[in-house]
Amino acid sequence: MGHDTIVQVEIDGEGRLHVVPSAHSLPFIYREGMEVQWDPVKGSLYSPKPREWPYSRWFQQVLAAASSQGCDLRLASDTRWVNIAPGIKAELLQVSGNEAYYSFKPNPLRGSA
């Protein structure tokens, strides 16, 4: 399975959650039947506007759909967050499994590595 970094997470004006991979293009993501689509203009995977599921569940769905296409998407320290409220960002970080990376504080006795 290939790995890719998420360069941007955005909630657009229509309320859809967009996840932009740095290198992968997944135009056939719709074949997974998970309600995740590909936006060729933005180069993003996106969910419909949340109805019953919160954004955090849709984020998991986007990541799972990408994984089904052979692409493991991961947040990075320089991922851009566009139109994402702090509470929603915290939820997305938590469900992504990346919260440990963002809460990492170097041990002064061991150095930063």
Q: What are the domain boundaries of the chain?
A: 2-99
pLDDT at 112: 45
Average pLDDT over residues 48-69: 96
34-43, 58-67, 100-109 — which is least confidently predicted? Answer: 100-109
Average pLDDT over residues 24-39: 96
Domain 2-99 architecture = Single Sheet (2.20)
Three-state SS at 25:
coil
Mean pLDDT across the chain: 89
Average pLDDT over residues 73-78: 95
22-36, 43-57, 89-103 — which is least confidently predicted? Answer: 89-103
Average pLDDT over residues 52-76: 96
pLDDT at 4: 96
pLDDT at 42: 96
What are the Cα distances from residue 31, in Å, to 22, 59, 78, 81, 90? 21, 18, 30, 27, 30
Residue 100, CA atoms < 13 Å, CB-side half-sphere: 1
Q: Where are the alpha helices (DSSP H) in the chain?
A: 55-68, 86-96, 99-102
